Chains A and B, each alone.
Chain A
Amino acid sequence: MEVTMDPLFLAWSYFRRRKLQQCSDICTKILQDNPYDQDSSLLISEAAWSLKTRALTEMVYIDEIEVDQEGIAEMMLDESSIAQVARPGTSLRLPGTCHGGGPTPAVRPMTQSGRPITGFVRPSTQSGRPGTMEQAIKTPRTASTARPVTASSGRFIRLGTASMLTNPEGPFINLSRLNLAKYSQKPNLSRTLFEYIFHHENDVKNALDLAAQATEHAQFKDWWWKVQLGKCYYRLGLYREAEKQFRSALNHQEMVDTYLYLAKVYQRMDQPITALSLFKQGLDHFPGEVTLLTGIARIHEEMNNISSATEYYKDVLKQDNTHVEAIACIGSNHFYTDQPEIALRFYRRLLQMGVYNCQLYNNLGLCCFYAQQYDMTLSSFERALALVANDEEQADVWYNIGHVAVGIGDLTLAYQCFKLTLAFNNDHAEAYNNLAVLELRKGHIEQSKAFLQTAASLAPHMYEPHFNLSILSEKLGDLQSSYSAAQKSEDAFPEHVDTQQLLKQLRQHFAVL
């Protein structure tokens, strides 16, 4: 005779093995077999119900600390920052003010918000902060630059509807018919229910209701509910309330997570210095905590203080020598400070750790080329091309191959590579600029000028197209447009010596006239 396993136990086992769909299916069956109204089966059905909420939550769970996206509305209509014109070195919005020995844009490319490109992207690093509304709307939507969503809740709503699509019978729990007060009295059900509402349904308002009632039931002594309240307030954009809840939670119980959430609130309110001191306070309680150290390093990096960011990333690596973000950031920093050999060692370490994707092979190829290990260069790029996931990545890899071609002097290959870049990503401003330079070498002046104008309009934050346009116009004798282009180049990169000289020459010309 076949012995069948207890279904609830089986479901629990599936859950632990992260076979979430099977777990949810079995729970559904248990719930159908044990109606709610019988006392005998109440415990089992409650357990199955709670397990199913957990399984469904796990399916769409994203680490809330990492998720941070600013939409256009939050960026442009920002009321939460205290000083609109902040002093230098105290704001994340004015990245150019604090130069901590980082490389200039002459060696390290910039993102749209004027920060050097980083070695690692997280959901929050994607949204650069454009200066004007027009720029915000025009921003190309690629992963490496900026991706304004109309409002921060946009992506969450889409994820929420996605989770409902998967079960055609409708949602598992009908939130509008739920008696939140009843559930908030049951501590063993309320927590899983809260996480379900918050992560799976993305219904922050109901989640907030539940958390408020539950924290009241716990007589305002439960730090967990306070943290959840803070999370809800943060999503709703009520940063001061969120801060209050997190502070109060910290008084009850010191937790690393709470420090991270609180620091996130301060960063959103554009108070990086407060966030830094909070992280240091957290490090007193949890010495050597990797997430706190990473937080400090990220803030330094965002404030364009690359050298101290690298110091903190090195501290991170002392605690955890497999930290991908720290290795990638230190590696890219070495590459852009003219030490590709050392960068190569860091990226090779990532490869040894099992990171296997297009970006890593692309970086390895570039490092190999600039470290003069030519045998590995092209095979790395071939692998990168084999691993691309979308057209933007493909474009970036071809762009970098184009650089290798320029380096070995094969200008025909370079031309083809940049053309391919544009075929995959029509908004690739860098490729337009480089094509313009190649076109000018061939003597195609009009074509070159058109490419430069396209590049300048696509990426006004880069100085190269403006500067090139200025030189070209000056050669053609069009001094007025040369002057205006040079001024734009100066805005993008004030320390650029060649731009300064060009401007000086032009001013002399105008003075003579």
Chain B
Amino acid sequence: MPEVKSIFREVLPKQGQLSMEDVPTMVLCKPKLLPLKSVTLEKLEKMQMEAQEAVKQQELAMKEQLQ
């Protein structure tokens, strides 16, 4: 719409001193997309979990036998 004139006009100072200060600001760490897991990795982790469970249960059984 080139015809319509805006009531606000931009102001660009042409006279006097123009100063700009670049203040370093603190940076945040970025958001983290989580990587998907490969099938092999999921299977490995599942097997490891099961193994840990098995060990735990065997130890519990041993303790009960001793008592």
Chain B window 11-25, contacts with chain A (Cβ cutoff 8 Å), 1 for yes, 0 for no: 000000000001011
For A125, the closest partner residue in chain B by CB is B35
Q: Contact check: which of A109, A162, A472 meets B32 at CB < 8 Å?
A: A109
Chain B window 32-45, contacts with chain A (Cβ cutoff 8 Å), 1 for yes, 0 for no: 11111110110110
A366 at the interface (CB under 8 A from B): yes
A339 at the interface (CB under 8 A from B): no
B34 nearest CB across to chain A (Å): 4
B32 nearest CB across to chain A (Å): 6
CB pair A332–B47 under 8 Å, yes or no, is no
CB pair B32–A159 under 8 Å, yes or no, is no
CB pair B24–A498 under 8 Å, yes or no, is yes
- Contacts of A60 on B, CB cut-off 8 Å? 47
CB pair B58–A165 under 8 Å, yes or no, is yes
- Contacts of B60 on A, CB cut-off 8 Å? none
A298 nearest CB across to chain B (Å): 11
B28 at the interface (CB under 8 A from A): yes
CB pair A366–B40 under 8 Å, yes or no, is no
- A471–B25 Cα distance when bound, in Å, is 8
B26 at the interface (CB under 8 A from A): yes
A430 at the interface (CB under 8 A from B): yes
A297 at the interface (CB under 8 A from B): no
B30 at the interface (CB under 8 A from A): yes
Q: Provided the pairs A62-B44, A66-B40 are in contact, do residues A121 and B30 lie with their beta carbons within 8 angstroms?
A: no
- Contacts of A165 on B, CB cut-off 8 Å? 51, 54-55, 58
Q: Contact check: which of B24, B28, B31, B35 meets A400 at CB < 8 Å?
A: B31
CB pair A120–B51 under 8 Å, yes or no, is no
CB pair A399–B32 under 8 Å, yes or no, is yes
For B38, the closest partner residue in chain A by CB is A122
B28 nearest CB across to chain A (Å): 5
Q: Contact check: which of B29, B35, B43, B44 meets A434 at CB < 8 Å?
A: B29
In chain A between 286 and 333, which residues have their CB closer than 8 angstroms to a CB of chain B?
A: 324-325, 328, 332
CB pair A462–B29 under 8 Å, yes or no, is yes
CB pair A332–B33 under 8 Å, yes or no, is yes
- A54–B51 Cα distance when bound, in Å, is 20
Q: How many residues does chain A have at the interface if contact means C-beta atoms less than 8 Å apart?
A: 67
CB pair A120–B27 under 8 Å, yes or no, is no
Q: Contact check: which of A158, A336, A393, A433 meets B29 at CB < 8 Å?
A: A433
- Contacts of A350 on B, CB cut-off 8 Å? 36
- A165–B53 Cα distance when bound, in Å, is 11
CB pair B26–A117 under 8 Å, yes or no, is no
- A471–B28 Cα distance when bound, in Å, is 13
Q: Contact check: which of A324, A359, A464, A472 meets B28 at CB < 8 Å?
A: A464
With most chain A CB atoms within 10 A of its CB, the pick from B33, B41, B54 is B33
CB pair B27–A360 under 8 Å, yes or no, is no
A189 at the interface (CB under 8 A from B): no
- Contacts of B47 on A, CB cut-off 8 Å? 60, 62, 159, 162
- A335–B41 Cα distance when bound, in Å, is 24
- Contacts of B35 on A, CB cut-off 8 Å? 117-121, 125, 144, 328, 332, 359
A437 at the interface (CB under 8 A from B): yes
- Contacts of B58 on A, CB cut-off 8 Å? 165
- Contacts of A143 on B, CB cut-off 8 Å? 37
CB pair B27–A464 under 8 Å, yes or no, is yes
In chain A between 345 and 404, which residues have their CB closer than 8 angstroms to a CB of chain B?
A: 350, 355, 357-360, 362-363, 366, 370, 393, 396-397, 399-400, 403
- Contacts of A117 on B, CB cut-off 8 Å? 32-33, 35
B33 nearest CB across to chain A (Å): 5
- Contacts of A498 on B, CB cut-off 8 Å? 24, 27
CB pair A62–B40 under 8 Å, yes or no, is yes
Q: Contact check: which of B25, B27, B30, B41 meets A122 at CB < 8 Å?
A: B41
Q: Provided the pairs A166-B54, A464-B29 are in contact, do residues A359 and B36 lie with their beta carbons within 8 angstroms?
A: yes
A44 at the interface (CB under 8 A from B): no
Q: Provided the pairs A462-B29, A471-B26, A501-B24 are in contact, do residues A359 and B34 lie with their beta carbons within 8 angstroms?
A: yes
CB pair A471–B24 under 8 Å, yes or no, is yes
- Contacts of A109 on B, CB cut-off 8 Å? 29-30, 32
- Contacts of A362 on B, CB cut-off 8 Å? 33-34
For A433, the closest partner residue in chain B by CB is B29
For B29, the closest partner residue in chain A by CB is A430
- A121–B28 Cα distance when bound, in Å, is 25
CB pair A121–B24 under 8 Å, yes or no, is no
A406 at the interface (CB under 8 A from B): yes
CB pair A433–B28 under 8 Å, yes or no, is yes
Given A117-B33, A143-B37, A437-B28, 17 new contacts (CB under 8 A): A62-B43, A109-B32, A118-B35, A119-B33, A120-B37, A121-B38, A123-B40, A158-B51, A159-B48, A162-B51, A328-B36, A336-B33, A363-B34, A396-B34, A462-B29, A471-B25, A502-B24
* Interface positions of B (Cβ within 8 A of A): 22, 24-38, 40-41, 43-44, 47-48, 50-51, 54-55, 58
20 contacts between A and B (CB under 8 A): A66-B40, A107-B30, A109-B30, A120-B36, A121-B35, A123-B38, A143-B37, A155-B48, A159-B48, A162-B55, A165-B58, A166-B54, A325-B36, A359-B35, A359-B37, A403-B28, A431-B29, A434-B29, A436-B26, A440-B26
